[in-house]
Homo-oligomer: A and B are copies of this chain.
């Protein structure tokens, strides 16, 4: 069996190694147009930031080590230009010599990845405007930073943009981030991204949200970036990180079917519309796990697992890719933002019914040093309790809780099942009632009608017809409160029931939602019409900007 693989990173290399393990006699050739294979592209921002000091650490394998260990024929600097499906051959260009040759295949795996979107803007070809896709790009950016620059503009506030902003800043470079959306980190809902934005601002990154870079001009070797609001920012370096598009031209030219988002269409065995050609990684369209809809979700973990699955199927095992649920995480200085499943904004767009909850539990027991509140949002189906998505932003233990929620979601657990999960507890690691359990408690209270919420976005339109009641302490109320709220601390509530207006709905709140939940129970059982603010002021302020009023 002769297997050709196009693309020698992540999915392609996973496929090659797996195919070799399953078939010692196969002839396996990997074509990689770049100079390196199997490099750690997720590590590149951190090498630029000098967090990773040794460039060689990013080279997980070399063509020579892959020959020695896996008996693979790996050809870097070789680009596949065309696929002739009828004769089962590819045409390959050796980029060094400029010569072309043909190579036949029995099976072919496409793992070309995705390339950075480069907007057609005036001045886009300025030499100090860079993208970060491969190690050559990385070296170019690092050279500029090492030369002692003082300022950079990052265009795009997604994963790469945020990681680049952090790493440039820790190199002593002043950083402006220009993002056309009204938030960074689009996989999160806006109010969840807010905590990360505030943290970045506190670290000194200047964020320009809901603004577009509209053009670039040279300014004595620097780049003057024109922003849609008329402002200009002049910087020594511009990093373009506005997103990626699947590298599906080769597949399209070969007549393979593409999906509606432009990625290569595959079945669950990862076969393209040609049964002898498989495709994996950022170039393919996957089924989004929660909605069952096709989607373009470029992530390293799925790419690696897809490579393995394609090789399994080619080598006679029967293996199916179950879909992508979009579990992802980003480090933002000391904070972490993480997501799994679908955000609220996407559920709205789809018209999918959902409930949501917000909690702010500690990463571990509050009496043990080194923890802070995390901010957790969970979305679930009102009918079945099925988990539709979760988002967490915070400090310690965010990565753990998103993985537990991702696992529960993929296992088909309901949000109520989260109550009963028995997770590992000792004070340095968690709480006897883990944040994930707490989410389950809140959700099951919602589903049983033992709590009813109002939401930050209902202020002020809905709340103006009722009374806003703050059940925090007088000191907390004095420091800041929702405009027009009255204050009855939880400890005085039972004695104050006679003074409250029974003719109007009560909108109660506290800081995180726990005291106001207790107050809800008191008031509800006393016959009041009452709702409690989901997520308390911590969510309210994130929604409305730090302190409205």
Residues of A within 8 A of B (CB): 10, 14, 20-25, 40, 42-43, 46, 51-52, 57-58, 60, 68-71, 159, 289, 299-305, 308, 317, 322, 324-331, 336, 338, 340, 365-369, 399-400, 402-404, 406-408, 410-413, 417, 419-430, 432-434, 437, 441, 448, 450, 490-491, 494, 515, 517-518, 521-522, 525-526
Contact B399 A429 (CB under 8 A): yes
Inside 8 A of A46's CB, which chain B residues have their CB? 368, 427
Closest chain B residue to A163, Cβ basis: B426
Inside 8 A of A20's CB, which chain B residues have their CB? 521
8 A–B contacts, CB within 8 A, in A order = A14-B433, A42-B427, A69-B518, A300-B432, A303-B432, A327-B422, A404-B407, A407-B407
The smallest C-beta distance from A142 to any residue of chain B, in angstroms, reads 15
Q: Out of B340, B423, B433, which one reaches A406, CB within 8 Å?
A: B423
Contact B441 A42 (CB under 8 A): no
Inside 8 A of A368's CB, which chain B residues have their CB? 43, 46, 51-52
Closest chain B residue to A60, Cβ basis: B367
Contact of A40 with B427 at beta-carbon distance under 8 Å, contacts A57-B367, A419-B305 already known: yes
The smallest C-beta distance from A40 to any residue of chain B, in angstroms, reads 5
Contact of A24 with B329 at beta-carbon distance under 8 Å, contacts A303-B432, A407-B407, A410-B422 already known: no
Which 3 residue pairs across A and B have the least CB separation, nearest first?
A411-B411, A329-B424, A68-B491
Inside 8 A of A22's CB, which chain B residues have their CB? 450, 521
Contact A399 B399 (CB under 8 A): no
Further pairs besides A24-B522, A301-B425: 19, Cβ < 8 Å: A10-B432, A21-B518, A24-B525, A42-B425, A52-B368, A52-B369, A58-B367, A69-B515, A301-B432, A326-B422, A329-B426, A331-B426, A331-B428, A340-B422, A404-B404, A404-B407, A407-B411, A407-B421, A408-B411
**A408, B412: Cα distance in complex, Å:** 10
Contact B338 A424 (CB under 8 A): yes
**A330, B325: Cα distance in complex, Å:** 32
Inside 8 A of A52's CB, which chain B residues have their CB? 367-369
Contact A51 B369 (CB under 8 A): yes
Inside 8 A of A400's CB, which chain B residues have their CB? 399-400, 403
Contact B429 A331 (CB under 8 A): yes
Inside 8 A of A432's CB, which chain B residues have their CB? 10, 42, 300-301, 303-304
Interface centre among A368, A406, A433, A450 (most CB of B within 10 A): A368
What copy number does this chain have within its complex?
2
Q: Out of B40, B406, B423, which one reaches A422, CB within 8 Å?
A: B406
Contact A422 B301 (CB under 8 A): yes
Contact A406 B426 (CB under 8 A): no
Contact B322 A420 (CB under 8 A): yes
Contact of A403 with B423 at beta-carbon distance under 8 Å, contacts A367-B52, A518-B21 already known: yes
Inside 8 A of A517's CB, which chain B residues have their CB? 21
Contact of A423 with B367 at beta-carbon distance under 8 Å, contacts A21-B518, A404-B403, A494-B71 already known: no
Q: Out of B25, B60, B491, which one reaches A525, CB within 8 Å?
A: B25
The smallest C-beta distance from A165 to any residue of chain B, in angstroms, reads 15
**A336, B425: Cα distance in complex, Å:** 12
Contact of A299 with B425 at beta-carbon distance under 8 Å, contacts A42-B365, A70-B518, A437-B305 already known: yes
Contact A301 B434 (CB under 8 A): yes
The smallest C-beta distance from A543 to any residue of chain B, in angstroms, reads 24
**A406, B434: Cα distance in complex, Å:** 13
Contact of A491 with B69 at beta-carbon distance under 8 Å, contacts A51-B369, A57-B367, A422-B324 already known: yes
Closest chain B residue to A58, Cβ basis: B367
**A504, B217: Cα distance in complex, Å:** 74
Contact B423 A327 (CB under 8 A): yes
Contact B366 A57 (CB under 8 A): yes
Contact B403 A304 (CB under 8 A): no
The smallest C-beta distance from A335 to any residue of chain B, in angstroms, reads 12
Closest chain B residue to A297, Cβ basis: B422
Closest chain B residue to A44, Cβ basis: B427
**A422, B308: Cα distance in complex, Å:** 14
Q: Out of B42, B412, B430, B515, which one reaches A399, CB within 8 Å?
A: B430
